[in-house]
Structure 1
Amino acid sequence: MMKPLIGIPMGDPAGVGPEIIVKALNDEHVYEYARPIVIGERKTLEQAMRICEIFLEINTVEEPEQGKFVKGTLDLIDLKNIDIDQLELGKVQAPAGKAAFQYIKAATDLALENKVEAIATTPINKESLKAGGIPYIGHTEILEDLTRTKNPLTMFQVHNLRVFFLTRHVSLKRACELITKESVFEFIERCVEALRVLGLKNPKIAVAGLNPHSGEHGLFGDEEVREIAPAIEEAQAKGINVVGPVPADSVFHFGLLGRFDAVLSLYHDQGHIATKMVDFERTISVTNNMPFVRTSVDHGTAFDIAGTGKVSQVSMVEAIRLAADYAPSFNSIR
């Protein structure tokens, strides 16, 4: 079988995106499971190679299938949208934000046209997007609009541990207010569907508790009794393989051991801390509920080290691997 074609938008050219790409594609193992095609800008990537002291042949193509996909070669769709003489590494700047959006849009178009099977994204910068007149704050919002997807579902994966998030970018107080029987039940259903699309036929989900020891039957807060447990019971009555609430101090460990296929975290830091403590560099974001699989490194543009060659490629390699791993199951169902 042909290895999955994975589109890689270059990200903010002033950040570490170009560097992690050239480092990742210098890893021969990438070509064991994927055919990576970069959507970016040639001179920026050549600069990144000089910085990292890595020398790959850049094979510029018009269509993804024209790539060579062998170690020692970087296959590129060149948008030619950066003036390298004006680019300042490690700084917010309008041309970089505009270019980053163009790479994402081109990669998305290729995925919607079935010319790539998934995309693995590199970091972009919110301030650079704003300076470039791009009316989005991040990848999820861009992809939501470009694919006309309502409420893309984010999942983190690190090793065997998969984590979904009931609430994300809200205050902790607001997160507690959003934990209702209705919202928990809806999210359990969405998580199950997402996992099935990724190839898990009868996934087992654990819902994390909110309060210490999951509230000890109301002694330390009653959210579990009032909202969370009733939602789980309703899902179980519908035949969904879900358990909980499982105390948050143990549920992620059990998920890592494989006792559960995924954990539903109730708020942002609850799940982020758990995954990143397992392995910070290999924690990968997977965006579900779209017409294609999207994975992403879970770090930013790292302007403080852009241009130094110090950035690690481990997260980029893992994002490509995970995209290639999930793409066949996703596309067979789609």
Structure 2
Amino acid sequence: MTASPILGITLGDPAGIGPEVTVKALPAAIARGDSRPIVLGDARVVREAAARWLDGWSVRVVADPGEAGPAEGRIDVLDLRNCDPARVAVGAVDAYTGQAAYDTVVRATEMALAGRIDAIVTGPLNKEAMHRAGHKFDGHTGLLGHLCGTKHYFMLLGSPRLRAIHVSTHLALREAVERVTRERVRAAIQAAHDHMRQLGIAAPRIGVCGLNPHAGEHGLFGVEDEERVRPACEDAARAGVRVDGPLPADAAFRQAYAGQWDILVVMYHDQGHVPMKLIAFEDGVNVTVGLPIIRTSVEHGTAFDIAGQGVANPANMEAAIDYARRLAAGEPGRDGP
């Protein structure tokens, strides 16, 4: 933990809104002066974005993350020289920019594992573009888990009033059902507990959503909740975790929003993403929990439909940068993410 952590910020796919939201978000982080943000990517892309959307700001290339320091009017960049702006097809799925996004995440992860940066904040990448470049991962979460050699890692979406950690994310629904095992649900509960304690909540209250409608109604609508989810909750409770479940997901989200739960464990992608993006699209943060490094991200995608137009809102990136800073500095969160 450090009082002024070095935050490595990746641009995401340069054909999307990543470069725009990154340069727009940096002034707020730099003005606070409590972290050392450094952009990881091609300095040419950053210069172009700053010239368009951050009038009067300059770009300084540094050779090492340790040289980064917050300075008004200046963006520090570790230049990877991996994406020629002349070859970027703005708003299009392209293997070239997919490769650049992949390479940047790999480099950032290597530096975080080596202790050269204290946290990673990732801009949005495009899964299809990354796949076209030959990298068959389901997104940042799977890629980071692979790079870190981690078995149990989870996607958490968080906002000031609502948080959800996912048992599975980018899978076909049929596969997601099979991923709901006693072991995996138990691991997700523990990851939720540990993360909330990291945020300063000594005894977090965890609600676990059922897989089926009405959490299966004791086997009327499927047996998975009784045979897999409930035993995982009981295992966690015996270990001293404050947990309840399986809960009907529709009611659980309303209860969590009202403050009954500090965090919910959800069984699959849409069970968590739909309510989170409805309620906290702008201030929500994506966090990969269970890695040996800190990684936060925006909650939105590449938004190819508005890329290059100057209308992208940087609020999500601002929240992701601040969340990473808090985790790296060991600063408790009064209200969570």
TM-score for both structures, normalised by structure 1:
0.88
Aligned match of 1:285: 286
User: Letter of the aligned partner of 2:69 in structure 1?
Assistant: K
Q: 1:58 to 1:191 in 2, by over 3 A?
A: same
Aligned match of 1:57: 58
User: Letter of the aligned partner of 1:319 in structure 2?
Assistant: A
Q: Does 1:80 align with 2:81?
A: yes
Aligned match of 1:158: 159
Q: 1:24 to 1:182 in 2, by over 3 A?
A: closer
In structure 1, the residue corresponding to 2:297 is in which secondary structure? strand
Shift of 1:271: 0.8
User: Letter of the aligned partner of 2:83 in structure 1?
Assistant: I
Aligned match of 1:96: 97
Q: Report matched runs for 1:228-267 at 5 Å.
A: 228-267=229-268
Aligned match of 1:31: 32
**Distance in 2 between residues matched to 1:212 and 1:51, nearest whole Å:** 49
Q: 1:317 to 1:30 in 2, by over 3 A?
A: farther
Deviations 1:264-291 (A, max 9, x none): 1122211111211112122211012112
**Distance in 2 between residues matched to 1:176 and 1:95, nearest whole Å:** 34
User: Letter of the aligned partner of 1:93 in structure 2?
Assistant: D
CA contact (8 A) 2:165 2:264 kept: yes
User: Letter of the aligned partner of 1:168 in structure 2?
Assistant: T
Deviations 1:154-190 (A, max 9, x none): 1111113221112323343444444444443343234
User: Letter of the aligned partner of 2:39 in structure 1?
Assistant: V
**Distance in 2 between residues matched to 1:100 and 1:83, nearest whole Å:** 13
Q: 1:63 to 1:258 in 2, by over 3 A?
A: farther
308-317 vs 91-100, which deviates more? 91-100
Aligned match of 1:126: 127
Gaps (5+ residues) in structure 1?
none
CA contact (8 A) 1:93 1:128 kept: yes
Shift of 1:224: 3.8
Aligned match of 1:44: 45
Q: 1:101 to 1:28 in 2, by over 3 A?
A: closer
How many residue pairs align between the two structures? 330
User: Letter of the aligned partner of 2:36 in structure 1?
Assistant: R
Shift of 1:22: 0.8
CA contact (8 A) 1:22 1:54 kept: no
TM-score for both structures, normalised by structure 2:
0.87
Q: 1:272 to 1:130 in 2, by over 3 A?
A: closer
**Distance in 2 between residues matched to 1:258 and 1:34, nearest whole Å:** 31
Shift of 1:132: 3.3
CA contact (8 A) 2:29 2:318 kept: no
What do you get for the CA RMSD once the two structures are aligned?
2.5
Shift of 1:231: 3.0
Percent of residue pairs identical = 39
CA contact (8 A) 1:22 1:49 kept: yes
In structure 2, the residue corresponding to 1:231 is in which secondary structure? helix
Aligned match of 2:270: 269
Aligned match of 1:321: 322
Deviations 1:128-163 (A, max 9, x none): 323434454422232223222223221111113221
**Distance in 2 between residues matched to 1:136 and 1:53, nearest whole Å:** 33
Q: Does 1:143 align with 2:149?
A: no
Shift of 1:25: 1.1
Aligned match of 1:17: 18
99-108 vs 209-218, which deviates more? 209-218
Deviations 1:92-132 (A, max 9, x none): 33332222222212211221121211110001122332343
Q: 1:54 to 1:27 in 2, by over 3 A?
A: farther
User: Letter of the aligned partner of 2:309 in structure 1?
Assistant: T
**Distance in 2 between residues matched to 1:211 and 1:136, nearest whole Å:** 27
Gaps (5+ residues) in structure 2?
332-337
In structure 2, the residue corresponding to 1:26 is in which secondary structure? helix
User: Letter of the aligned partner of 1:47 in structure 2?
Assistant: E
Q: 1:83 to 1:182 in 2, by over 3 A?
A: closer
Aligned match of 1:202: 203
120-129 vs 310-319, which deviates more? 120-129
Deviations 1:258-316 (A, max 9, x none): 33221111222111112111121222110121121100112222222211111111111
267-276 vs 63-72, which deviates more? 63-72
In structure 2, the residue corresponding to 1:167 is in which secondary structure? coil
Give the ranges of 4+ consecutive aligned residues of structure 1 lying more than 6 Å apart after TM superposition: none
CA contact (8 A) 1:125 1:301 kept: yes
298-307 vs 164-173, which deviates more? 164-173
